[in-house]
Amino acid sequence: MDSWAGLARALGLTPMAVLHWRKRGVPIERCGDIERVTGGAVKRHELRPDIFDPPHQQQPQEVQA
Q: The CATH number of the domain where 27 resides is what?
A: 1.10.260.40
Residue 57 domain-assigned (yes or no): no
Report pLDDT digits (tens) over 2-51: 788 999 999 999 999 999 998 999 999 999 999 999 999 999 999 999 99
pLDDT value at position 3?
85
pLDDT value at position 59?
59
First to last CA, the chain: 50
Residue 26 domain-assigned (yes or no): yes
Domain hosting residue 26, numbered range:
4-47
Residue 61 domain-assigned (yes or no): no
How many Å apart are CA 19 and CA 59, to the nearest integer? 36
pLDDT value at position 2?
72
61: phi then psi, degrees, rounded to nearest 5: -90, 145
The predicted model scores a pTM of 0.76
pLDDT value at position 29?
95
Residue 17 domain-assigned (yes or no): yes
Count of domains observed in the chain = 1
